[in-house]
Amino acid sequence: MILVLALLVGALYAVGTYLLLQRTLTRVVIGLAIMGHGANLLLLLAGGRAGRAPIVDGPGAGPFADPLPQALALTAIVITFGITAFLLALAYRSWLLRSDDEVEDDVEDRRIARLVRRHEENDS
């Protein structure tokens, strides 16, 4: 059981990383969201084996699941949710301004690209 979940966490991280390396903003956002799911699942797994009762009725009712990782995961989910919403708004703004979903080069990249072009013109 825990092996399946561990593999799932690994798969979520892998998919998230792959999407994060794309140049399209929407994929980056989705990649981050998937990776966040992986992290939250990992938090939950940190609480021990699956299958224990989440809530017990009164003292001495047997072993129960560690509540702390669940509380941590809840907090992390809320935070990731908020930031992802902001990121989506930002991506939408970027689309409105440029009508393009691709991540732009930064100032430094553009300078280097210009230099390369100038060298090529000089050579030819």
Which residues of this chain interact with another protein, rule CB under 8 A? 16, 20, 25, 28, 32, 35-36, 38-40, 42-43, 45-47, 68-69, 72, 75-76, 79-80, 82-84, 86-87, 90-91, 93-94, 97-98, 103-104, 106-108
Residue 51's φ and ψ, nearest 5 degrees, are: 105, -10
Please tell me the distance from the alpha carbon of residue 68 to that of residue 22, in angstroms, as a whole number.
35
Q: How would you label 50-75 residue by residue, b for 16+ Cβ within 10 Å and e otherwise? A: eeeeeeeeeeeeeeebeeebeeebee
Give 53 or 79: the residue with its C-beta nearer to another protein: 79
Residue 98 CB, nearest distance to another protein (Å)?
7
CB of 18 to another protein, least distance (A): 13
Q: Which is nearer to another protein, 93 or 119 (CB)?
A: 93
Check if the beta carbon of residue 40 is closer than 8 Å to that of residue 77.
Answer: yes
CB of 120 to another protein, least distance (A): 21
Backbone angles phi, psi at 110, to 5 degrees: -65, -35
Closest approach of another protein to the CB of residue 58, in Å:
20
For another protein, which is the closer residue by CB, 46 or 116?
A: 46
Residues 36/9, Cβ–Cβ less than 8 Å: no
Q: Which is nearer to another protein, 113 or 124 (CB)?
A: 113
